[in-house]
Structure 1
Amino acid sequence: MLAPESTRALFTGHSLGGTLSPMLALTLAGLGALKGEGLVYITVGASPGNKGFANIFAQTFPTSTSTCPETGYAVWSKNIINSRDIIPQAWCMKRILSPAQNVKNIPSIYGVPTIPFIEFVVFWLNANANKSHIMYAPLPITSCWASSLRRPLKTWLSFWVSHWGITMHFITMCWV
């Protein structure tokens, strides 16, 4: 059943939902199922595809600001990320595809000097990810800048403790 021309469809999601919602929106738009206005509001989603996907998404759902343009989060069709969050950085392996959002930004994201162990983990993950020859590219982003952190090691340790299980699952998957 196709929606009437006056229908407004809103696709939104956070984290995994922020990865899946642009995919669903683009799929439905490509099938012609969105006859009215389609809006996408993404927060902290991982990259759902390659540069071609990102380009088609940007063409299909052009960026537009809401009625409150002075806030960085009041925007449609951009992935809204926290500049201190490593997850949106983790999917693009090539800095040339996205200088502002790629895995090579992770070691210094909480400041310098960087932690050698983190540099090693990022190097190792990057090397293993490159074996797949899949080049993810992020969707257009808007970044809500976090304040500077005075304790980068403490911040990294708190991240590590809270994400230990999924991190170890991901690392062990790379060995298979």
Structure 2
Amino acid sequence: MTMKSRIAAAIAVAAVALTAGVASAQNWQGAPTYGNVRLAAGFQPDPYNVQLVAGGPIDSRAALGAACPGFIANNPDFDLYWTAGNTGLPLVISANSNADTTLVVRTPNGEWLCEDDGGFNGMNPGLRIDNPQTGLYDIWVGTYSQGNAPAVLSISELTSN
């Protein structure tokens, strides 16, 4: 192997290592633990609710950065296949639990959204996505502290549930 080839290989390995950080933190392509649904703008009944157990072994701050507090599972808890429409309504993803819960959502364009305590009932998370795009939303419901807790994931177009 020539010196030029070795340098090129080292650069390629470094590039892969740098870009693998966030993507490898969660297996967004993994099978969702609590299933999936296909919803389109204007869906009924609204909200669509899923009972699940929040939490997991992964520290989402370490995996995704300081803006993503909590502990989540490796695979998504739930997958939402969304079809956008002309309703002008936002997509609202929230969780409700007696425990302090968090949300992590991977949007169709690969953006990671994180939320803690911005929901509708104290220590519950809620994300409002204006002009949501069509595609797959991978959703994790975490717990702020290590441990698991029963929770309800809600998907809505209403600004409060």
TM-score, structure 2 as length reference: 0.23
* Structure with the larger strand share: 2
TM-score, structure 1 as length reference: 0.21
* Structure with the larger helix share: 1
Q: Relative CO higher for 1 or 2, CA cutoff 8 Å, sep ≥ 6? A: 2
